[in-house]
Structure 1
Amino acid sequence: MSDIKRVKLGSQGLEVPAVGLGCMGMTVGFGCNIYGDADEREAISAIHRSLELGGNFLDTAESYGPFLNEQLIAKAIKGNRHDYQIATKFGIEVTNQGEYTGANNGRKAYVKKAAERSLKNLGTDYIDLYYLHRLDPNTPIEETTEAMAELVNEGKIRYIGISEVGSETIRRAHAIHPLTAIQSEYSLFEREIERLGILSTMEELGIGLVAYSPIGRGLMSGNIQQSSDLASDDCRWDIPKYQGDYFTENIRLVNEIKALAIEKNITTAQLAIAWVIAKGHVPIPGTKRVKYAAENLAAADIQLSEQDLARLEAIVPLNADTGERYDAESMKGVNI
């Protein structure tokens, strides 16, 4: 396994590579085309190549598939479980038959049920980092966190986190059991958790950020210039960032970012990932292809100066309106 810069994630003892691997797109899920068709063989090769390059931090969830994503990871890591660090998530309720119920569930009984199911699907006896995927509005966060703490005490999970929650929820959960990480969307094109002071709360409490969609859901790949560059059934058409005037303006901004990437002889995606790292966070860009897994990990070696950061944030300022990151229905599950 090659060396890659490793960083502390939070203050509870977990160290991970500076760049993780988001695995959601490696399988079908959520009833639509996620970033193009999936190929199991190529996806597993991407996981193996990431490990060779030092990228052993894999991110999944029981709801991806459902179950299919965790099961694919089990195939990829079989015989080498201890070489990987696995993060998975629960809370978007799924039946044992793999059907979404349409609810979020953070009740103690479901936490335990979901954890046992994920352990089985992953083919492991422990999970490195276990997140509540989405907040259950009908269950106190204290109950959910207590159940996760019990799993830590049982040795079934090692560290805990929450995804897409605000400062008050973070403080309440952290008071029950120390949180290692919050997972939220964060990129040059999505900085709401920074605007709302959530990042400041996390810094105060010693909690790390795992940033999903650091390439802006593919916007900052530099490969999308017009609507015909995406399949008609691509999930991203449901996202306001990809619609109407937002799409036109966002592509213009991407092309300004691309100019800086060309100056540095790196890809636009690598520049976007390097920006997240420079801000002190752990990005988990998603891919299912060997080529991009390697390119994304190489971003860990890119050094950005204060001038570089200023140029990027002048292109897309903190308060820039680049469009919502989900459709109206999906935004109901974001509790920040």
Structure 2
Amino acid sequence: MQSPDAPQGVGLSRRNFMGKSALLGASLALAPALLAACSEQPKTDGTAGSQTPPPAKGTASMKTRKLGKLEVSELGAGCMSISANYGPPADKKQGIQVLRTAHDNGVRFFDTAEVYGPHTSEELVGEALAPFRDHVIIASKFGFDVEAGKGGLNSRPEHIRKVVEGSLKRLRTDRIDLYYQHRVDPNVPIEEVAGVIKDLIQQGKVLHFGLSEANAQTIRRAHAVLPVAAVQTEYSFMERDVEKNGVLATCEELGIGFVPWGPVGMGYLTGKITASTPFDPQKDLRSGFDRFSPAAIAANKPIVDLLAQFAAKESITPAQLSLAWLLAQKPFIVPIPGTRNPAHLSENLAAVTVQLTPADLQELDTAFAKLKVHGGRMNAAQMKIVQS
């Protein structure tokens, strides 16, 4: 039997899976004005996932992985969707409880950004994690001109030095464990950005450097100035560009961790989203994404059906299968599913007990190769500033 952390994932025992422990996760994203990220279960009336057993206390099932030299839990928690971009913000008490429950069940990696809200996600994370700040890894992001209110990019050195202070204050901490450039700024050489982060690391305000949606060449250029700990880009069973454009291979070559946002297809791979599912254009970023048009949702149903059929055979859920598939791809991959729903949290984190065999992976990939993915992953304006 191979280790669950082996490059092609593995192990056995999924049949009695549903009785095992679980937890939360989350994903990445962008400004409501311009970009997007994280994935979470779709918002429902609260009944979805209600058959999933409550998570058991303890961390026995949650292992760790490395993002560069940074050790984190094998599943992280994407915090965007609690406060913004997936409908109205969740109740503050509920958001805090979800994040603390995630911690109680072994999650030690929490992902946020100044643009989420803006600012409210960092404030929530700061308050929720304050009691155990020294025992968790907090990732945040810079790179949008939030103060200008237009969602434009801004990675000028003076801007980075300014906004890091605001993030530190909102997060109630003296250092950010992993600080990502949220989107590559074409007006600022990546070498300058890396140089500023190197200065912040020397000052102790930042511990590790990350990039989000950067292409392979940019990753190499940044890494030559300052080791990049992690790259964050959309990656899921249905969205596999990073396998083709050199990003995942570059991370593996350079020893850089990879953090997939949208690991459950921003909720689509759960099977709970249909062509008639409404998305508020004012509050839900998915409303403007090509793949969330009614036509694309309907056309991509065979992908959802494939996951649902395989998951049913193994007595797991499509969301759990989607996360387990990612974990099985490479040992340096750390998905960050996001949710505000306690039942979905439990469902997501139970995925760490699912061990797909090489035969399972081959079966899934052979079936997927016969299907076509319809619709671009974001809209045209957003894709212009996505480097991968």
Q: Give the TM-score of the pair, scaled to structure 1.
A: 0.92
Q: Does 1:314 find its partner at 2:370?
A: no
**Deviations for 1:153-176, whole angstroms, at most 9, x for unmatched residues?**
111111111000111100000000
| CA contact 1:21–1:285 (8 Å) conserved in 2 | yes
Change (3 A) 1:127 1:136: same
Query: Bigger CA drift: 71-80 or 259-268?
Result: 71-80
Quote the offset at 1:244 in angstroms.
4.3
What are the superposed Cα offsets for residues 165-189 of structure 1, whole Å, 9 maximum, x if unpaired?
Answer: 1111000000001001000000011
Q: Which residue of 2 aligns with 1:41?
A: 93
Separation of aligned partners in 1, 2:370 and 2:98: 33
Aligned-pair distance for 1:316? 2.6
Deviation at 1:5, TM superposition (A): 3.3
Partner residue in 2 for 1:289: 341
Residue 357 (structure 2) aligned to one of 305, 317, 331: 305
Give 1:79 shift.
2.4
Match for 1:17 among 70, 73, 81? 73
Tell whether the 8 Å contact from 1:239 to 1:327 is kept in structure 2 after alignment. yes
Deviates more, 1:273-282 or 1:304-313: 304-313
Counterpart among 156, 170, 179 of residue 107 in structure 1: 156
Is the contact between residue 238 and residue 303 of structure 2 (CA under 8 Å) also seen in structure 1?
Answer: no
- Please name the residue that 2:248 is paired with: 199
Residue matched to 2:310: 260
Give the letter for the 2:303 counterpart: L
Taking a change above 3 Å as real, the CA distance of residues 282 and 318 of structure 1, as seen in their structure-2 partners, is: farther
Structure-2 residue corresponding to 1:180: 229
Shift of 1:289: 1.5
Taking only the aligned residue pairs, the percentage that are identical comes to 39
Unaligned runs of 5+ in 2: 1-57
Q: Please state how far the C-alpha of 1:324 moved relative to its aligned partner.
A: 1.0
Does the aligned pair in 2 maintain the 1:4–1:55 contact within 8 Å?
A: no
- Structure 1 CA distance for aligned equivalents of residues 139 and 376 of structure 2: 26
1:78 shift after superposition: 2.2
Match of 2:146 among 88, 94, 97: 94
In the alignment, is the contact (CA less than 8 A) between 1:93 and 1:100 conserved in 2? yes
Q: Larger % of strand: which?
A: 1
CA distance in 1, matches of 2:155, 2:379: 23
Q: CA deviation at 1:102?
A: 3.2
The TM-score, its normalising length taken from structure 2, stands at 0.81
Matched residues in 1 for 2:352 and 2:341: separation?
18
Task: Report which structure shows greater RCO (CA 8 Å, sep ≥6).
Answer: 2
Where do 1:47-196 residues align within 5 Å? 47-95=99-147, 99-196=148-245
What's the Cα RMSD here? 1.7
Tell me, in whole angstroms, the C-alpha distance in 2 between the residues paired with 1:37 and 1:231: 15
- Aligned equivalents of 1:257, 1:101: Cα separation in 2: 39
Question: Runs in 1 of length 4+ with deviation above 4 angstroms?
Answer: none
Q: In the alignment, which residue of structure 2 is the partner of 1:28?
A: 84
Distance 1:315 1:322 in 2: 16
Aligned-residue offset at 1:333: 1.6
Are 2:52 and 1:2 equivalent residues in the alignment?
A: no
